[in-house]
Structure 1
Amino acid sequence: MRRAYADVPAGQIHYVEEGEGDPVLMLHQSPRSWTEFQYVVPLLGRTHRAIAMDTLGYGGSSPVPHTGEGPHQDSVEEYAAGVVMLLDALGIERASLVGHHTGGVIAVEVAAAHPERVHKLVVSCTPFVDAVGRTQRPDVDGAEVQEDGGHLTELWRVRQPYYPPGRPDLLEDFIVDALTAGPRRHEGHAAVARYAMETRLPELACPVLAVGAPGDVAYRDLPRWAEAVPGIRVAEIKGGMVPLPDGMPEEFTDTVRDFLEAA
């Protein structure tokens, strides 16, 4: 895998890529980074140009720029603009997008705002954010910093029920990304809660695959995706939980590749 930074109008975006062929850009959940796809990139890179980026404000990427006074509230539209900036910087006119959780919401906005730039769209364990969905957003990753480090235990405790037993390495990767994001680690979730997805879904013009995992909090929304997007394909990965791409990379990659290579 090759790591690099792309200079963009918002600053710099960190990304990783491997392989050649049709480009596939992967977008992580909040408050993760490209490492959510660290095992998927080399697998998908066998047949595609697999790219995983850090969303603006997360991982190694610059924060969302703002010039106003007071604290800034990120938006899904701003995260999506960062995706387009990276595509432009890499000279990619059209790519398929694979988004997990928050990344799926961002991918929807990119595909709706720039249909000419998106070949196919995969929304993995992505919440359905309409009037109902906006009231069901979980309050996670917002633990206040404590001098004794108790917030680290709290971050771990809240996530642990949605992670597979015997895989503390996956929770460790989450903790690293959460600490890297700092006090803004919850901002991605807040941006999703403010997003009016129901107004953007009618703008989707590309083939869409919705991937669900029974152990994931967004699994309940899979039927709603099937009803809301005409012609959508739906796939379930049995045994999957919140860390689906990094927890079950082979199954995840096979599901994504089958969709990308289908006529």
Structure 2
Amino acid sequence: MTAIRRAFADLSVGQVHFATCGDAAAPAVLLLHQTPRSWLEYRDVLPLLAQRCRAIAMDTPGFGDSAPLRGPASIEGWAAVAVELLDVLAIDRAHVVGHHTGGVIALHLAAAHPTRVASLVLSSMPFTGEAFRRVRRDRPPIDAVEPSEDGSHLAALWQRRQGFYPPGRPDLLEAFVRDALKVSGDVEGGHRAVASYRMEDHIHRVTQPTLLIRASGDPFASPHVPELQAHLPQAHVAEIAGGMVPLPDQMPREFAQVVLDFVARI
């Protein structure tokens, strides 16, 4: 299996960590993770994509081993740093894949920098319009837990997510908790950035070929597919049955195959 190589790029925010796999001459695929994960969400996906592509998974600033943004977390700021990484890697255009928060970043990247994005794969991405923002304003924190001396806050973090993860896969919840504990500053910053993003102001500028991945077991994202299709008439939909919130590391083979099949048609 093709080896994964990890490195840091010196960008405007400081050092940004990324992992790459595959032939540097092959078509580039940039992978953007959900909140509060890291490149590890795609660890098992990278070698599968590397069979035909140059796959790059970056740690969003403030997550994993990347330095945070200089200022509040924002979709626009994260997309700008992703372009900087493409510049450093001498990648003129990439297929961009994003899961949950990563999908929102990917969409803004395509809207704001259209010449840099060959196609979009938006996995389990919400439509962050006014209705979404209104609901999120009234919703309690998703991942923030009050630290406790006996460590019970770690169990609380686990339990908040457990219902959205497949049974019998404690490894996926362990990966989530490890990444959540590494977030620089506020673990809710990524969720707030999504909740405040005015997607309706940008989505009409997205003209690239687009694939919407619908994970049937993800209650946060599946209901948004029809609304996204209404705004992205060029989009196709691929459903991954049984997929839940941790889709890329829950079902890496199915996820990678859907991406490869789509990219092959571009």
TM-score for the superposition, normalised by structure 1: 0.95
Deviation at 1:36, TM superposition (A): 0.2
Aligned ranges for residues 5-24 of structure 1 at < 5 Å?
Answer: 5-20=8-23, 21-24=26-29
Distance in 1 (CA, whole Å) between partners of 2:239 and 2:146 is 35
User: Partner residue of 1:93?
Assistant: 92
The one-letter code matched in structure 1 to 2:157 is L
Distance in 2 (CA, whole Å) between partners of 1:43 and 1:163 is 23
User: Partner residue of 1:151?
Assistant: 153
Stretches of structure 1 that go unaligned for 5 or more consecutive residues are 67-72
Aligned ranges for residues 147-226 of structure 1 at < 5 Å?
Answer: 147-181=149-183, 183-216=185-218, 217-226=220-229
Question: What is the aligned residue count?
Answer: 257
Distance in 1 (CA, whole Å) between partners of 2:146 and 2:104 is 26
**Per-residue Cα deviation, 1:71-115 (whole angstroms, up to 9, x for no partner):** xx3111111111011111111111010000000000011100000
Runs in 1 of length 4+ with deviation above 4 angstroms? none
Query: Which is further off, 207-216 or 98-107?
Result: 207-216
**Per-residue Cα deviation, 1:177-233 (whole angstroms, up to 9, x for no partner):** 000015421100000111000111011121111101111121111111112211111
Distance in 2 (CA, whole Å) between partners of 1:28 and 1:136 is 23
Deviation at 1:136, TM superposition (A): 3.2
**Per-residue Cα deviation, 1:48-67 (whole angstroms, up to 9, x for no partner):** 0001000001000011014x
Query: Which is further off, 98-107 or 77-86?
Result: 77-86
User: Partner residue of 1:53?
Assistant: 58
Find 2:46's aligned residue among 41, 44, 51. Answer: 41
Percent of pairs with identical residues = 51
Stretches of structure 2 that go unaligned for 5 or more consecutive residues are none
Distance in 2 (CA, whole Å) between partners of 1:159 and 1:183 is 20
The one-letter code matched in structure 1 to 2:55 is A
Secondary structure at 2:183's aligned position in 1? Answer: helix
Contact 2:68 2:184 in 1 (8 A): no
Distance in 1 (CA, whole Å) between partners of 2:210 and 2:201 is 17
User: Partner residue of 1:228?
Assistant: 231
Distance in 2 (CA, whole Å) between partners of 1:154 and 1:34 is 24
Q: Assess, with a 3 A threshold, how the Cα gap between structure 1 residues 30 and 238 changes in structure 2: closer, same or farther.
A: same
